[in-house]
Each structure stands twice: as structure tokens, then as C-alpha cells.
Structure 1
């Protein structure tokens, strides 16, 4: 697919997709005319990258862990430095705290909606 379609399907602007490519996070094929050609699996990859960036993980770390995003079979056991592991532990803790906060907020909103709906009957 072309860059515009990938952008439309992921909600990520084309300029960011080009940035991800420049950072080594995406490697689209090139057509004979030079246009980028993205494979179907890159839709999920872009979604993963966007989620990690939204969680505060910098592109330099995303690039290092990218091979692991495909599943446990692709993890390089000897490839993680102590600094990378420390960084990932910190980002994991930050994400976990955000998830817990979001879960509490979600539950509070659900309870509020249930109460309001029940009172309106």
C-alpha cells in the first residue's frame, strides 16, 4: 500500500511515517518509480510504534526492541544491555501506573453512568 493509505488506516500523518522510516522503525519497499510500498503487517507495526511513543518510550529504545514486538520467538536473549533493561523497566513502570490510573477512571465513569441511568428510570 502507499503511504497515504497507511496513514489513513493508522491515523498517523504521512510526515510521521516518513520520520519513523528515517529513524529506522519502518522499512518500506520501494517501487520502480521510487514510491514507498508498505506491506500489510506494517499497519499493526505503526500502531505499536505509536502506542509506545504515546507511552513516552523514545524512538532510540523502540528501535532496539522492535524485533521483540513480533512475539517471544523473536527476542534476542543476548542482545539487551543492562542500560536498555533499566530503561525498559522504567518505561514499563510508567505505563503500568498509567494503565492503573486509566482503569480507575474508567471504572469511576462507568459507575457514574450507571447511577445516572438508574436515577433517570
Structure 2
């Protein structure tokens, strides 16, 4: 198949395919008149790259999976290098989850502190006759 058909079937653009080719992730064969041609194996490589990128892998992290498929394995994640990338990505995700949990706890603490302070201010201004009007309303949440 030609580059336009491969791009359409893979859900990408011809520009992306040329970029992958320049990075050595996709190898085009050329016809006598210079057209790039691809086969079903190339489509499988592209689907592997797209799936990994959807999971947050950068393009270079997909290389071991592509190499594994090119080596004739039935799946791109059956080679030791691919498994190592999975392990690194999981460790990275775990660290991000821990960091987000910490940030969430801090935001929750700030919210609780701010709600107590806001209620105290509303109560203080309500107790003073003719005192300043509150500038904002507390939401019922």
C-alpha cells in the first residue's frame, strides 16, 4: 500500500509517517518510480506506536516495541527491552500518582483552612451592627 492509504488506515498523517521514517521507526520500500510502499506489518508497527503513545509513552520509548515486532515476535511487548520500558513507565506513573496524592492533600488542607476562616469572618461581620458587609457569600457546598 502507498503512504496515503497507510496513513488513513493507521489514523495518522503522511507527514507523521515520514517523520517516523526519518527517526528509523518505519522503513519504506520504494517502487521503481520512487513511491513509498508499505505492508500489513508496517500497519501493525504503527498501531503499536499509537497505542503506546495513547498511554503516554514518548516516541523514543516505543522503539523497543517496534524492534521486537521487526524481529518477528507476535507482539511488541514480549522482548526484554520492551518489558524494561514497561517497568520504567510504571515507576514513572507511580511517582506521578504519589505526587498528585500529595498535592491533593495539600489543596484539601488549604480548602478546610479557608472554609473555617471564611465562616469566622462571616460570623464576625454579622455580630457587629452596622459593621462592614461581607464581600462574598459562602457557597452551600
Runs of 4+ in 1 over 3 A off after TM superposition: 69-77, 88-94
Kindly indicate whether the alpha-carbon contact (under 8 Å) linking 1:57 and 1:91 is maintained by their aligned counterparts in 2.
no
- Between the aligned partners of 1:60 and 1:92, the Cα distance in structure 2 is 17
CA distance in 1, matches of 2:56, 2:76: 25
* 2: CA distance, partners of 1:73 / 1:41: 12
- Secondary structure, in 3 states, of the residue corresponding to 1:53? helix
Paired positions, count: 92
Unaligned runs of 5+ in 2: 96-141
Distance 1:15 1:73 in 2: 24
Structure 2 residue 33 is the aligned partner of structure 1 residue 33? yes
Q: Tell me, in whole angstroms, the C-alpha distance in 2 between the residues paired with 1:43 and 1:71.
A: 14
Measure the CA separation in 2 of the matches of 1:47 and 1:85. 17
1:72-91 → structure 2 map (5 Å cutoff) = 77=80, 84=85, 86-90=87-91
TM-score by length of 2: 0.51
Contact 1:28 1:36 in 2 (8 A): yes
Q: TM-score, normalised by structure 1?
A: 0.58
